[in-house]
Amino acid sequence: MRYKTTFRHFLALMLALIIGTNAHAFPENLKDLKQPVTNEALFNLINEVQKEDHISVSVEGKSVQGNPLYLLRFHHSPKPKWRLFFHAQQHGNETSGKDALTSLIKELAQDKSLLPEDVDLYIMPLVNPDGAATYSRRNAAGADLNRDHILLLQPETQALHRVGRRIMPHIVVDGHEFKRDTGDYLDKGWKEWPVIMMGTANSPLYSPALYDLGKQWIDKVGQNMQRLGHNYERYFLAYYPPHGELRYSTLEGDDGRNSFGLYYHSLSFIIESGVYRSIVEDPFFDIAQRTSAYLSIYKQFIQDATSRTEELEAIEASRSAPVIPYIATNFFWGSDGNFDHTSKAIDLDTGETVEFTAPNFMTKRVVKRYVKTPHAYAIRSSNVDLIKPLLERHEIEYEVVSKKRNMSVETCFLLALENDYDEVYERYEGRQIVRCKPAQMREFQEGSLVVRLNSLQAKEVIVTIEPQMLYGLFQYKAFAELADSSNEIGVYRVME
């Protein structure tokens, strides 16, 4: 045994020496992809393609373990007008977005005519290289990067947002994977029907015009997926009846997840391709199919300019609009009474597509509570140590009060934190229950901060520090601890 093992190791070593890094190279034909692209193979490809005139490569930061966070830029006219930003694999075990982007990088390097003259394409193929290396969801610090968009504590999410702020993309696409064999379906002897799904940002804080244009893209991509024979649907979270409701996802702009473009007034999308995690031995057996579906969507975003004029106008209008007068602080999915949505699944025994009716397909965004938008937020001097670095991570501008100042402010109190999943509204844990008293004059000490709401960054400011957002800053322990003995949280709403 011992001899045999040693001999096998020797053979493996020889093979590795002979083949070198090519063992991990991307196959000539995408159909032959059998495994996710390794970090090493991706980094090698990036090094190779940066010699091309129309490609520039930058390192936008380092992961927790020191891996480079690469950004590739593709363009070949001096002033391209349309900026696209594709990023993937915030979750290290969700690979096919990155695999498709690897294929795209390779194709674009070989044939620059695939890129229209007016397109400026930015690709961050691998946001979480440490998680990718161990095929785990979280980064090396144990953080779920897609839950770090308010705090921006991780170098990976910091880099992502630095890039977002710098390039102000018109379209952002965030790549993920979902589980096709969830318990509720398996209990019925089914697996999920879609191979790939796409959702668009739809927080009530987001421009309604951008939401409508996002839905148009969901349909346009659907037509193309149908032509190509990929099972495609609008992204929904599926819980099978009786207790389960189906609802569209990416409403969660209130904690930044899945809604990157909200901050930058971009058309904002999430793609999710379906992976079997429990019913097959090799989760990568269909990786070529998933990657190819993904790749077709990326290409459509590059090449389909049919609604671009309208999109540019809506994006520019959103970027220059005055600050919204009211802030929706508590919202969820609801239904207007149309309970008979038909959905599809695949029977595990026969492989046939079955149709079923869900009792409550929640199709409407419902705002449960809103508040008047303040002119600014004031932060008492005792909270500055924690909140100033947070503002700086978001590059949010603030003024430091240089001598005592009186301002009319609403004082806010943290009444409770709810750390359970909300079964009623199908929403996640971490709700902060905050009430604010009507505005009164109050004195602010030297060293306090004032954050004004300018239109371009207003939504980022609101999502980050508005005390009454249901899923806001004070759901996080360090910030909840800022509340004093009377539960006053020390972030004030400046009303005039």
Name the site residues for Zn ion (rule: CB under 5 A). 91, 94, 176
N-to-C CA span, the chain: 80
453 SS3 class: coil
CA–CA separation, 290 and 295 (whole Å): 9
Considering the complex, what minimum distance in angstroms separates the CB of residue 482 from Zn ion? 30
Considering the complex, what minimum distance in angstroms separates the CB of residue 221 from Zn ion? 19
Closest by CA to 114, choosing from 52, 197, 57, is: 52
* Amino acid, res. 374: P
In the complex with Zn ion, which residue's Cβ is closer, 98 or 394?
A: 98
In the complex with Zn ion, which residue's Cβ is closer, 91 or 459?
A: 91
Considering the complex, what minimum distance in angstroms separates the CB of residue 235 from Zn ion? 11
In the complex with Zn ion, which residue's Cβ is closer, 155 or 175?
A: 175
Considering the complex, what minimum distance in angstroms separates the CB of residue 348 from Zn ion? 24
Considering the complex, what minimum distance in angstroms separates the CB of residue 167 from Zn ion? 23
CA–CA separation, 332 and 213 (whole Å): 21
CA–CA separation, 460 and 391 (whole Å): 10
**What is the Cα 456 distance to its own chain's centre?**
20
Residues 294, 271: contact at Cβ < 8 Å? yes
Give 326's strand partners: 372
The number of residues in the chain equals 496
Q: Which residue number places its CB atom closest to Zn ion?
A: 176
SS (H, E, C) 163-225: HHHHHCCCEEEEEEEEECCCHHHHHCCEEECCCEEEEECCCCCCCHHHHHHHHHHHHHHHHHH
Considering the complex, what minimum distance in angstroms separates the CB of residue 177 from Zn ion? 6
In the complex with Zn ion, which residue's Cβ is closer, 131 or 164?
A: 131
In the complex with Zn ion, which residue's Cβ is closer, 176 or 230?
A: 176
Residues 381, 218: contact at Cβ < 8 Å? no
In the complex with Zn ion, which residue's Cβ is closer, 136 or 335?
A: 136
In the complex with Zn ion, which residue's Cβ is closer, 94 or 255?
A: 94
Considering the complex, what minimum distance in angstroms separates the CB of residue 277 from Zn ion? 13
Strands 232-234 and 196-200: parallel
